[in-house]
Amino acid sequence: MDDYNRTNDVENAPKHGEEDYTARHTDGIYSSRDEETAAELTADDYRRNVTVNNDQTEANTSIGWIALALSIASFFWAPILLGGAGIIVGFIARNRHANTLGNIAIAAGAISILITLFILPFV
C-alpha cells in the first residue's frame, strides 16, 4: 500500500453551510469550526475557591449551644416552657446548618416534655 496515494485520497470534512472564518472561543482556542466537545471532569481538574466565614460558623454553633442549654435546663426547671423553647431554637439551629447541636437539642427538649407529661405524674 502506498502511503503517498493514501493521504491524497482523503476528502475534506463537509462545511455544512459554515463560512470559512476563524472563530474565537471563550477558552481562547481558535478554530475554523464551531464544535461541541466533551471531556471528563475529575476532582483534580475542578478547583473551586472555598472560603470559610468564621463569623457565620460561630453564630450557627452558638445558636445550637443555646438550644442545647435550653433543653438541658428544661430537665430541672419549667420543662414544658424551656423544652418547647429548646425544640424551637433547635429547629432554627438546624436551618442554620448546626445539625448535630440542633438535633440533640430537639431530642432533649422532647424527652424532657415527655417525661414531664407521662412519667412524673405517676411518681
| pLDDT, tens digit (0-9, with 9 covering 90-100), for 19-58 | 555 555 455 555 555 555 556 656 665 555 556 566 666 6
Mean pLDDT score of the chain, rounded to an integer?
Answer: 77
pLDDT of amino acid 12: 72
Rounded Cα distance, 31 and 20, in Å: 10
Residue 37 lies in a domain: no
Query: Would residue 25 count as lying in a domain?
Result: no
The residues, any chain, with a CB within 8 Å of residue 102's CB and separated by 6 or more, are 64, 67, 90, 91, 92, 93, 94, 95
Give the pLDDT band (50/70/90) at residue 81.
very high
Domain residues for the domain of 76 are 55-122
Q: Is 15 part of a structural domain of the chain?
A: no
The alpha-helical segments, DSSP class H, found in 30-98 are: 54-73, 79-95
Q: 71 and 83 in contact (C-beta within 8 Å)?
A: yes
The answer to whether position 35 is within a domain reads: no
Q: Specify if 92 maps to a domain.
A: yes
Mapping DSSP to helix (H, G, I), strand (E, B) and coil, where does residue 24 land? strand
Residue 97 lies in a domain: yes
Q: Are 115 and 79 in contact (CB under 8 A)?
A: yes
From the centroid of its chain, how far is CA 71? 28
80 is a domain residue: yes
Determine the Cα–Cα distance for residues 50 and 13; give it in Å rounded to an integer: 44
Task: State how many domains the chain has.
Answer: 1
The pLDDT score that the predictor gives to residue 122 is 86
**Of the listed ranges 45-54, 82-91, 111-120, the one predicted with least confidence:** 45-54
- Residue 68, in any domain of the structure: yes
Q: Are strands 23-24 and 30-31 parallel, antiparallel or unpaired?
A: antiparallel
Residue 90 has pLDDT above 70, yes or no: yes
